[in-house]
Each structure stands twice: as C-alpha cells, then as structure tokens.
Amino acid sequence: MYTRSSHSCLLQLFLVLAAVISELLAPPNATVDPLDPTTQHIGCGLATVSQLGTALAALEAKLAAAIRGLSNATTQANTTATDAAFAQLTQDLAALTGQVDALEASVAALNATTQQVSADTAAAIAALKVSLQQLAANTTAAVASLKAGLQQLQANASAGIAELMGDLQAVNASTSGLLRVGDAIDAATLGGVAPAGYVRVPTRVALYALGATLQGNLGGRAGADRSCQSDAGRPAGFLNARALLSVSSTDTIAAMPTLYGVPTNLPITSAAGAPIAANWADMLDGSLPASFAGAGVTTSAVSWTGATSSGGYAQGADCAGWSSASSGASGGAGDPTASSNGSYLSGFNITCDSLAAVICLVF
C-alpha cells in the first residue's frame, strides 16, 4: 500500500538523484565545492579519479537512501497512489543504476590511464637517474683524464726547462770569451783593437813595416799576419791588420780584397798619411806616385813579397810558403825605393836567410 505523503517523498528523492547524475554527466569543465558533495560540478572528461570516487560515493549513499525510502514507502503504501507512478519511478531508478555502472567504467578507464601515466613517469625518472649516474661517472673519468694530462704536461714542462737550462749553460760556456753586457769595452776586451776601430768607417788603407827585419821563416800567412797585428808600430784606429805577401797561388797580394776584405776604393798611404797610391788597383798597376821608402814606410833596402810585379804569386820564390830561413831557398823581394815597373813588389830574388822588411797594411 502507498500513502500520498510517501509517494511525494519518493518523487522528491528522484529529483535530487537526477540532479546529482546530471552534475556527474556535465560537460568537461569541473569545479568542486568540497563542502557539499551534492553541488559538485564534474566534467567526466576532466574529473580526477579521486573526484569521481567521491562523487560515486555520494551517489551510492543517495541511492541507498532512496532504496531505503522506497522500502519505507512500500511498507507505508498509500492505496491511492497509482501503480503507473510507481512503475515509472522503478524504471527511472533502473536507468539511474545503468548510468552509475557507465560512470564506474569511465572511472576504471581513467584509473587505468592514470596508472599508465604514473608507470611511464616512473620509467622516465628511472632512465633519467641512470643517465645522471652515467654523466657523473663520465665526468669523473674526464676529470681524472684531465688531471693525468696536466701532470704529464707539468712533467714535460719540467723536462723541457731542464733541457733548456742545459742548453743555456752550454751556450754560456761556449761564449765565455765574448763580451757581455756590463763588460768594459777597451783594447783589452777587443783583442788589442781600440774601441774606435770598431765604429770608425775606414777612410784609407795604411802601410807600415814591422819594427824588425826578419828571415824568410815568417810562419806562413798566419804567422806573418799575427806579427803585423801585434806589432808595436801598428797604427791605431784600424780594425784589421795583414801582411802584404803572396803565399800561394790562391793567397796572393792581388787577392787580398777578396780574401780579407781590404777596401779597394780607399787611398793607400803611410801610417802618417803620406800618399802612396790612389787606390788598390793603382798600387798594383806597376807604378806608384810615391815609393814605399819615399812615403816613410820602411828604410830597409828589401821587403819580402813573394809576388810578381802585379801582386800575383812568384812560384818558387816564397821561402817554402814563408816557412824557411834556409840559404838554399829563395824568396821574392820588392825594392821599397822603386816606384815603377812593379819593382816595389818584385825587385829581387834573395836567399831566405837574408833579413828583409815585412810590409803590413791596416784598414
């Protein structure tokens, strides 16, 4: 039996449930009023699992209440209620139950998606962790390798510096005879040449004779040059000193500009400056404006030359390369008083035990 009041109560309950269902099935734009489950606005596409769970719980509670109310209504049935109204209500409740089942299926699907996302996230985090560990290991390895490289570089640099120091000391030792910054610059440090001789551009070639006459064993080119360089009468202010001698077919008076740098463009004078020839070629052309003796170069009657009249090599007349003082050897000598026919270079052949002047030139 149905009473009218219990019938209208059932209708009210149905309206409430219908409102809840419509909220659950609302378009995908969810807002939540956490204080009242019945006022939730849930978009199924956007609802979270937890929101849907809450909504379902509320719906289930309302359904249970509805069923209880129905049961109560049945027991208090008002015989005036129509069977049609009751049948309609039962049908609506069945439809509602179907919708709840569908909702549960969506929740399950959403839950599955969430689980998948969560699993994917966990996998991504694990992969990231592995990468980070590898990066850390790689970094450690790179740092260790850099450190080893630096140590090797340091060792190499030390070895290089030690080697350089060795070289430096060797150079230092090999140049110990050279002038150093701070050394005094004087004739003692310049091998007997006054400092002016290093900086002055020569303006003439000067002739002078050794202080003593000598036999033919002059010590070859080197010995004769040394005698010229160390002679007390050597004019000051000239860097170079050489003996005016032909020594061999290749080391002749005529070759002295090429071999020893004698200037060919300067006037030739005595040490005191008396003119002898206009230049090198003028001295070798056979005649002189002034003889050696006339210019005050020597007072000796003969001077060792070993030369032809034009300054070449008088083969067989060189006291065995200016090494012999034998009476059995012969040496070419000039006549210092002569100024023509090249006789001042090639005047006589005399025995090597004779005493003759050695004429030197400075430039």
Ligand X SMILES: *[C@@H]1O[C@H](CO)[C@@H](O)[C@H](O)[C@H]1NC(C)=O
Interface residues with ligand X (CB under 6 A) are: 3-5, 27, 29, 31, 49, 53, 65, 68-69, 72, 78, 80, 107, 111, 115, 131, 134-135, 138, 149, 152-153, 156, 168-169, 172, 176, 314, 316-317, 332, 340-341, 343, 346, 348-349
- Taking the least distance from each CB to ligand X, the nearer of 53 and 211 is 53
What's the closest the beta carbon of residue 265 comes to ligand X, in angstroms?
28
Nearest distance from C-beta of residue 323 to ligand X, angstroms: 17
Name the CA radius of gyration of the chain, rounded.
65
Closest approach, Cβ 240 to ligand X, in A, equals: 29
- Nearer residue to ligand X within complex by CB, 90 or 115: 115
Q: How far is the CB of 271 from ligand X (least distance, A)?
A: 26
Given the complex with ligand X, which of 206 and 276 has the nearer CB atom?
A: 276
Shortest distance in whole angstroms from residue 346 CB to ligand X: 5
CB burial readout 32-43, b (16+ within 10 A) else e:
beeeebeebebb
Report the nearest approach of ligand X to the CB of residue 74 (Å). Answer: 10
- 69 versus 275: smaller Cβ distance to ligand X: 69
Whole-number Å distance between alpha carbons of 303 and 332: 9
Residues 289, 267: contact at Cβ < 8 Å?
no
User: Cβ closer to ligand X: 72 or 88?
Assistant: 72
Q: What is the nearest approach in angstroms of ligand X to the Cβ of residue 159?
A: 8
Query: Please, what is the minimum distance in Å from the beta carbon of residue 246 to ligand X?
Result: 12
Within the chain, residue ranges assigned H as helices are 4-24, 49-75, 83-174, 195-199, 220-230, 256-260, 280-284, 319-322
Is the Cβ of residue 125 or residue 236 nearer to ligand X in the bound state?
Answer: 125
* Contact (CB, 8 A) for 294 and 337: yes
311 burial type by CB count under 10 A (0-12 exposed, 13-18 middle, 19+ buried) = buried
In the DSSP assignment, the letter for residue 336 is T
Q: Which is nearer to ligand X, 88 or 131 (CB)?
A: 131
Q: Do residues 333 and 216 lie in contact, with contact meaning Cβ atoms separated by under 8 Å? A: no
Residue 276 or 362 having the CB closest to ligand X: 276
Give the C-alpha separation, 46 to 42, whole Å. Answer: 8
316 neighbors 293 (Cβ within 8 angstroms): no
Q: How far is CA 27 from CA 23, 39, 53, 100, 111, in A?
A: 9, 15, 18, 17, 20
Look at residue 108 and give its three-state secondary structure.
Answer: helix
Amino acid letter, residue 125: I
Alpha-carbon distance of 299 to 17, in angstroms, equals 155
User: How far apart (Å, rounded) are the C-alpha atoms in residues 20 and 23?
Assistant: 5
